[in-house]
Structure 1
Amino acid sequence: MFLGEFRHTLDAKGRIIIPSKFRESLGDEYVISRGLDGCLFLFPMEEWKSFEEKLRTLPITESRAFVRYFTASASDGSVDKQGRALIPQNLRDVANIEKNAVIIGTPNKLEIWSEELWDQYMSSDIMSDDNIAKQMEELGF
């Protein structure tokens, strides 16, 4: 499980430091893809394989767009010796990440956001205490 929020700057080659707290759980190899809400998803390779298996079982007539959304932009990679992961240019463009980014942990993957979009998202009504309390109630928490 990944927990926390970390702010980092991309280097000139589009690499971002993966927080040391996340590196062991991430492992050496990963898949990065388009995410939801404007972010990118960074899957440990084992999680990506599980996700990919689920994609393979979906009926093609109902899932074409869904499968394409995640796989067309996906790129595999490995964390370098300095703990950095490359974010390909096409994905930086999709997520509007130019220089500053935020890496957040979720139960099975990392999300990478442009710092500006993350800050907007966190201050939006979606993330208000009342909205989160309502969602918790609806989900049985």
Structure 2
Amino acid sequence: MFIGEYQHSIDKKGRLIIPAKFREALGNSFILTKGLDNCLFVYPLDEWRKFEEKLNSLPLTRKDARAFVRFFFAGATECQLDKQGRILIPSNLRKHCKLEKDAVIIGVSNRVEIWSLEEWDSYNEADDLSYENIAEKMAELGI
């Protein structure tokens, strides 16, 4: 399980340190892809396979389902950590999440998310995402 929030800087070559607490759970090889809300999703291979099964179960006949599947698969890349615990984030993925210098890496249960510091701060300051509003919406869902 991934939990916690960490800040690191991306270097000029596009490399980012993955927090030591996440490295073992990610394994030797893992998937990095476009995420929702202008971030990147990082999945261990076993979790990626579960997610992949869900995506592949979507109806091919629906245009929105095809677009959703393309979004994740077209942006996906397999990653390995270097000896310093870094990954190379391809330029198209850095562009997707507006990542230029400062990054926030968060644990979200079965995946890791990578955010630009600016996008993370903006996300957390949004009025509709106040914790009180979120709790109210989750209560409506019975959570």
Alignment of 1:1-141 (within 5 A): 1-62=1-62, 63-141=65-143
**Cα distance in structure 1, aligned partners of 2:31 and 2:48:** 7
Partner amino acid, structure 1, of 2:5: E
| Aligned Cα root-mean-square deviation (Å) | 1.2
**Cα distance in structure 2, aligned partners of 1:70 and 1:126:** 26
Q: How many residues align?
A: 141
TM-score computed with the length of structure 1 as normaliser? 0.94
**Cα distance in structure 2, aligned partners of 1:64 and 1:129:** 32
**Deviation, structure 1 residue 36:** 0.4
**Cα distance in structure 2, aligned partners of 1:73 and 1:57:** 19
| Partner SS for 1:52 | helix
**Structure 1 gap ranges (5+):** none
**Structure 2 gap ranges (5+):** none
Segment drifting more, 131-140 vs 113-122? 131-140
**Cα distance in structure 1, aligned partners of 2:138 and 2:66:** 31
